[in-house]
Structure 1
Amino acid sequence: MSRVVFSLSAAPGMAEGLARCFEADLGELETRQFPDGETYLRIATPVSGRDVVLLCTLDRPDAKIAPLLFAADALRDQGARSIALVAPYLAYMRQDKAFNPGEAVTSVSFSRLLSFYFDFLVTVDPHLHRIDNLDEIYSVPSKVVPAAPAIADWLKANIPNAFVIGPDEESEQWVLDVAERAGIPSAVLEKKRWGDFDVAISGGSLPDMDDKQPVIIDDIASSARTLVETVKLLSKAGTKPPVCVVVHPIFAGDAYDELLQAGAKRVISVNAIAHPTNAVDISPALAEALCAWSVQNDELIGAGH
């Protein structure tokens, strides 16, 4: 095959699923740490003239960045025709503005780095706040894969009588999309945040959910304080214990256990980041984005660009 997928970091089975859907070989990449902490990396599958996909989800990114860039450089040296990065979770999107003098705007710095090494970027629902799309900071073509269709399908198949809830205004875009696709009712709450672990959720007048199964949807669960406070609010309102759905399950420290202790009935997540809660497979949608890029890439190369 003219396509090959290499995996540096991904949920179990994602590389195989991506290669299968993308009709690509699964490449072999060897990496290890030297005693001094430096990285050894070797591309063990021929890539000359081939379109290469490097799969690496970028939660807890600092330990992954050096191997990722070494791999991209080695693939280029070995003659890869093109190199796409599939980063289901894209790191360094939150710091998109200098709030104090001297602060690094890391979203811009990181975008420059990845844009230098890769020809195309695919990611799942990045944390866009003060920028509207990735093209504002990334100089290479990119594709955002929405998790909403896969989440909606999962809810329809697994949660009867669901009522979708967004914990804050930022979640409204996902909540409304999922609710419309699944044909279920929804509501969006309000949030105030004073720090990483200092969050308050207010619901105003929550709709009647006596016979409904509440489903809270959020894009990122890191400290999970937003989800924890939302679960507590629903518990006080007398609803059924909610199901929590997360696109990017970072769950730093004890966040996952705290969410369960707060009263969540169940936590499920998209496999954008490997976690025991993974239940929604995003691989087919990632492969679809890669196929569209591959066709466009062939056309550009055929036209002599």
Structure 2
Amino acid sequence: MTLSIISLPGAEACTGLLARKLNANRCGLESRRFPDGEIYLRVADDVRGHDVVVVAQLREPDAQVPGMLFLADALRELGAGRVGLVAPYLPYMRQDARFRPGEAVTSRSFGKLVSSAFDWLVTVDPHLHRHKVLDEVYRIPAAAVPSAPAIAAWVHQRVARPVIVGPDEESRQWVAEVADLAGCAHTVLRKLRHGDREIELVLPDLQALEGHTPVLVDDIISSAHTMAGAVRKLGAAGLAPAACVGVHAVFAADAAALLQAAGAATVVSCNTLPHPSNAIDVTGAIAEAVRAQGEALSRSGS
């Protein structure tokens, strides 16, 4: 079956890379806003009988999700076969439990919406906490692509004598994987909480870091306060300026400037969300996951 790929606004560069790696047809989309803010969508090419991949880079999900769902519905009405979603950054994973009476568990709600609109999902390193796997949230086949191999390759090529540093104990397993693939040591910082708002970062054994370039790795760089604090702490201990690596470049407000002011040697991210810091390409692994989803569904006859 012919494979076509279509980009939501803002995901054009990622879509172009994936189209080449998947040897897929690019399908045009006309999109604009009416004066009252409602979205207008028009699929510009014939998708009858095609499997279609929708690519959405959801930096501001509330503005983009309605159009994403409307597009999936339109593609089916226009005769598309299977309709899959590539969302390299998967939003609405934060609220994964009800901590106070009446709270909406938005990860489950978002999972229901996406599962009702698409046949499969591919994302990169979703922010899983109490959920062990995406299958606990999504009713469709959902693949989580690891960024660790691409990050490790970047570290190996660009950083002399690296040591991978995680921001907290929760990151240990992931940081260990990056370090193993990069062929270097790793360690993690400890967070000590003093009340609701004050956090102290505690450095590990400094002897293990001497003579190495620390590479701070985190899955999401949002406010960057924790990572900036780690950069300052490492610098104050006399270590080389740290490289900062984030999978998802959310970069709220002045986060990038905050890291630079803290003394970061460099700040890079994977291209799951478009940002000037994008230096690590994960679209090859995404393309492999898309192929695997299509092959699995073909074998099952879905």
Fold conserved between structures, TM > 0.5 = yes
Cα deviation, residue 113, structure 1: 0.5
Going from structure 1 to structure 2, the CA distance change for 1:98 and 1:166 (only over 3 Å counts) comes to: same
Which residue identity is paired with 1:246?
G
Residue 199 of structure 1 and its aligned partner are, at CA, apart by 3.8
Q: Deviations over 1:198-248 (max 9, x none)?
A: 543211433343321110000001111110111111012110110000000
Deviation at residue 9 of structure 1 after TM alignment: 4.4
Q: Distance in 1 between matches of 2:90 and 2:270?
A: 14
AA paired with 1:173? Q
CA distance in 2, matches of 1:195, 1:32: 47
Counting aligned pairs with the same residue, the percent is: 48
For the Cα contact (< 8 Å) 2:56–2:87, is it kept in 1?
A: yes
Aligned match of 2:5: 5
Pick closer, same or farther for the CA change 1:236–1:26 going to 2, 3 Å.
Answer: same
Aligned to 1:220, the other structure's residue is in SS state strand
Please state if 1:266 is matched with 2:266: yes
Name the SS for the 1:244 alignment partner: strand
Cα distance in 2 for partners of 1:278, 1:284 equals 15
| Aligned residue number for residue 169 of structure 1 | 169
Shift of 1:12: 5.8
Q: Does the 8 Å CA contact 2:214/2:243 hold for their aligned counterparts?
A: yes
1:55 matched residue in structure 2: 55
Secondary structure in 1 matching 2:259: helix
Match of 2:137 in 1: 137
Could you list the per-position Cα deviations for residues 69-93 of structure 1 after superposition, in whole angstroms to 9, with x for gaps in the alignment? Answer: 1111110111110011000000000
CA RMSD, 1 decimal:
1.7
Alignment partner of 1:207: what SS?
Answer: helix
TM-score (norm 1): 0.95
Measured in 1, the distance between the counterparts of 2:101 and 2:67 equals 31
Give the Cα separation in 2 of the matches to 1:193 and 1:62: 32
1:214 maps to 214
Q: How many residue pairs get matched?
A: 302
For 1:280 and 1:236, locate their aligned partners in 2 and report how far apart those are by CA, in whole Å.
28
Match of residue 105 from structure 2: 105
1:290 matched to 2:290? The reply is yes
**What does residue 147 of structure 1 align with?**
147
Once residues 194 and 291 of structure 1 are traced to their aligned partners in structure 2, the CA distance between those partners, rounded to angstroms, is 48
Spell out, residue by residue over 1:246-294, the C-alpha distance to the aligned partner (whole angstroms, 9 max, x if none). 0001010111111110111110100001110000001110000011111
Residues 153 and 197 of structure 1: CA distance in aligned 2, closer, same or farther (over 3 Å):
farther
Q: Quote the Cα distance in structure 1 between the aligned partners of 2:275 and 2:168.
A: 24
Gap runs ≥5 in structure 2: none
- Residue 254 of structure 1 is matched in structure 2 by 254
1:4–1:198 distance in 2 versus 1, CA, 3 Å:
farther
Query: TM-score of the superposition, structure 2-length normalised?
Result: 0.96
Farther off after superposition, 10-19 or 219-228: 10-19
- Per-residue displacement from partner, 1:41-67 (whole Å, max 9, x unpaired)? 011111111110000022221000111
CA distance in 1 between partners of 2:45 and 2:201 (Å) = 51
Preserved contact between residue 11 and residue 56 of structure 2 (Cα < 8 Å): no
Cα pair 2:192 2:199 within 8 Å, conserved: yes
> 8 Å contact 2:271–2:279 — kept in the other structure?
yes
1:32 paired residue number:
32
Any conservation in 2 of the 1:224–1:256 contact (CA below 8 Å)?
yes
Map of 1:70-109 to 2, 5 A cutoff? 70-109=70-109
Q: Distance in 2 between matches of 1:26 and 1:196?
A: 49
Query: 1:299 Cα deviation (Å)?
Result: 2.0
CA contact (8 A) 1:10 1:55 kept: no
Contact kept, 8 Å, 2:231 with 2:264, in 1: the verdict is yes
